[in-house]
Structure formats: C-alpha cells, structure tokens
C-alpha cells in the first residue's frame, strides 16, 4: 500500500510538471500568439477588398512624361476609347494615349469603351452593324495592347425607360464576342439605376457579364439641389442611399459579382439665402476641396459639417462676391465608412474614380 501511494504521488507530480511545461510552450510560441492577434483583428465575414483605379486619358501626358503609378491597386482600368456608330474612334485622344497608360501601369489592366453620348448611343442601338463594329474593334485593341478585360460604360437615358430590350441585346452581343476571345467582360451601371428607373434590365445584364460595376456617385447632380455624392443611408431627406441600393441589388445580383465605384469628387453649388441653387453646380475633385477649402478653412469664411447619415462632408462658404456656396464631396473618411457597410454585405471589390482626383 505504501509503495502504491508513492507511485500515485509521483505520477500526479509528473503529470502536473509536464502539463505546465506544455502550457508554457504554447503560451510562449510567437507564431501562435501572432495568429491569435491576427484573427482578432479580422472582422467576421469581411472579405479582403480587390481595389481598382480608373485612369482617365485626360489625366495622362505623353507616354514619356508619366510617372509610374504605384502598385497599391490590384487593377488599373483605362478610360478609355470611344465607341461610335462607325466603331471605336482611333483618331481621338483616348486611343492615342493607350501607350501612355501602358507605360505608367503594370499588373492587371482593363480597357474601358466609353459611350456617354445619349444621341450617339441611340443610333448604335438601332444598328447591329455599329454594335458589331464597336465590339470587334474593342476586342482587337484589347488583344493588341495586352489588356486582360473590357469594361463597357454605356450611359443611356430614354423617355419613360424605353429601349430596355435594345440595351440588353447590345450587352449580349458585347459579352459573347468578348468572352469568345478569352477576355473578361464588365459593365458599369448607374448607382440610381433602380431609383430613377433607368432603361437597364439588371437581372439580364448580370447573366451576360463577369462583373457589375456600380457607379455609386452623382445621386445629387449639378443641375439639382445640393446634397451628398451618394449617401450611406437614405435617412429621411435623401430619398436613396447605399442601404436602399443594396436592397435592390441583392434581388438580382450576387455580391461576388459587384464592384462599387467611389467617385472621389463632389459639387460646388452657388445658392441663395435659403440654400436653393442659383446656377448649375461646378464639379470639384476631392484633392481640390482639400487644397482650396479644408486646408484653408481657418482663414476663409467657411464651415465643415460631417453628416453622420450620408457619411460625407458638407462645406459652407462665402466667396469674394459675398455669394453663399455649399460643397458636398466624397473623401477617404466617407469611403472607409461605406467600405464597412460593403463588408457586411459580402462585397469584395471596390474601385476609385479617378486617378488624380484624390
């Protein structure tokens, strides 16, 4: 019995010593500790954003004069070449500056086909020949210069939302020819596509594209009342925002297909004593707002107001002619709040409009 008790005692002491040593080994393991810290910093259900930057041709100089863009973005999107009734215009500046874009960027690069003139677009919709010419030219240019994909920026307005089928048919033509040449295909859509009932069958367009790029800006326009670029929340006074946009989007598009484009700019409205616009607003980039107002607000007759509903900043100031102005704009701070919302919705891709604007 005596020896049995001694044996049990030795076993218990040994177990405690080994257990403590093992525990200390795990607790002092830097890799294990770092893993725990890393995991604690990652929000639940939060994808790592794929970030893209649009590079407009007018922001580029001749190919020999451009600085190489940093590699902080996963993709660079050139904006771009112009689609016309005769195909892609190879005489205009957008085409001529492709070399400048290619020399200033590296990695994944996509080419945008710019179609922003409603009158021209109306004619293209009526001509299958024009549509095929645009697509064939765009695919040929993309292959020639080594682009990885094409973005169709077809901006169209019609009375009472007409020509929806024609628009969808054009997207289908573009998609089939692009994908047949092993190029990725993305489309841009207005952020207010549902709110203002624009002529796009989003559910059908989603079927023909690899990616839907939502232009989440310009909800308040230069010809309208002052307001945020695109509010985080509609609240009680904005009518629409990210919350209602995604309530609409999620009915027809998978989150993994969505890229949200932030417009890094705003508008400057000249207004009367009641805050009503006197003239059309002028556009102003985020960089210009920072340089001309944020950094000088102390010496100017101006105030800054951060709106928690929209997540954006409003600036009020009086100009040299004693005229009252209101500026609303997007910046890095508002983007951060909106990205948090996007993470919660499972969106993993964002883009910025545009190079040189912020």
Is 288 domain-assigned?
Answer: no
Task: Indicate if the pLDDT at residue 64 is higher than 80.
Answer: no
Model's pTM, two decimal places? 0.86
Is 248 domain-assigned?
Answer: yes
Task: Indicate if the pLDDT at residue 13 is higher than 50.
Answer: no
Average pLDDT over residues 1-7: 39
Is 43 domain-assigned?
Answer: no
Is 318 domain-assigned?
Answer: no
Q: Give how many domains the chain has, as a whole number.
A: 1
Is 292 domain-assigned?
Answer: no
Where are the extended beta strands (E) located within the chain? 50-56, 75-84, 87-88, 108-115, 149-154, 184-190, 211-216, 258-263, 265-271, 282-285, 302-306, 313-318, 324-329, 349-353
pLDDT digits (tens, 9 = 90+) for 315-348: 999 999 999 999 999 999 999 999 999 999 999 9
Is 208 domain-assigned?
Answer: yes
Instruction: Name the average pLDDT for the chain.
Output: 88
| CATH code, 202 | 3.20.20.80
pLDDT of residue 98: 97
pLDDT digits (tens, 9 = 90+) for 125-153: 999 999 999 999 999 999 999 999 999 99
Task: Indicate if the pLDDT at residue 38 is higher than 80.
Answer: no
The encoded tokens of residue 25 equal 């080994």
Q: Which domain holds residue 219?
A: 50-264+330-353
pLDDT of residue 47: 52
Is 149 domain-assigned?
Answer: yes
pLDDT digits (tens, 9 = 90+) for 95-128: 999 999 999 999 999 999 999 999 999 999 999 9
pLDDT digits (tens, 9 = 90+) for 232-250: 999 999 999 999 999 999 9
Is 272 domain-assigned?
Answer: no
pLDDT digits (tens, 9 = 90+) for 191-213: 999 999 999 999 999 999 999 99
Largest CA distance in the chain: 105
Residue 341: φ, ψ to 5°:
-60, -45
């Amino acid at each position: 019995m005596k020896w049995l008790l001694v044996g049990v005692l030795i076993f218990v002491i040994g177990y405690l010593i080994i257990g403590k040593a093992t525990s200390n080994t795990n607790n002092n393991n830097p890799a294990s500790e770092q893993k725990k810290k890393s995991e604690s910093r990652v929000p639940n259900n939060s994808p790592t954003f794929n970030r893209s930057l649009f590079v407009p041709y007018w922001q580029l100089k001749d190919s020999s004069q451009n600085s190489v863009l940093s590699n902080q973005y996963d993709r660079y999107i050139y904006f771009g070449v112009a689609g016309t009734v005769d195909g892609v215009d190879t005489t205009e500046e957008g085409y001529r500056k492709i070399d400048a874009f290619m020399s200033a960027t590296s990695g994944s690069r996509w080419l945008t086909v710019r179609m922003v003139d409603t009158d021209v677009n109306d004619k293209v919709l009526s001509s299958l020949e024009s549509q095929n010419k645009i697509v064939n030219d765009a695919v040929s240019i993309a292959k020639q210069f080594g682009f990885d994909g094409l973005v169709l920026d077809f901006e169209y307005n019609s009375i009472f939302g007409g020509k929806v089928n024609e628009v969808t048919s054009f997207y289908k033509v573009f998609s089939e020819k692009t994908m047949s040449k092993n190029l990725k295909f993305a489309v841009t859509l207005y952020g207010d596509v549902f709110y203002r009932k624009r002529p796009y069958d989003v559910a059908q367009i989603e079927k023909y594209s690899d990616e839907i790029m939502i232009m989440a800006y310009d909800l308040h326009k230069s010809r309208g009342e002052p307001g945020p670029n695109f509010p985080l929340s509609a609240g009680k006074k904005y009518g629409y925002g990210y919350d209602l946009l995604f309530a609409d989007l999620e009915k027809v598009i998978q989150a993994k297909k969505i890229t949200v484009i932030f417009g890094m700019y705003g508008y400057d409205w000249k207004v009367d004593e009641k805050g009503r616009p006197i003239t059309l607003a002028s556009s102003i980039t985020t960089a210009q707002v920072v340089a001309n107002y944020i950094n000088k607000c102390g010496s100017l007759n101006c105030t800054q107001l951060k709106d928690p509903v929209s997540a954006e900043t409003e600036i009020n100031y009086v100009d040299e002619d004693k005229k009252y102005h209101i500026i609303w704009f997007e910046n890095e701070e508002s983007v951060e709040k909106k990205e948090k919302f996007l993470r919660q919705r499972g969106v993993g891709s964002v883009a910025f409009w545009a190079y040189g604007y912020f």
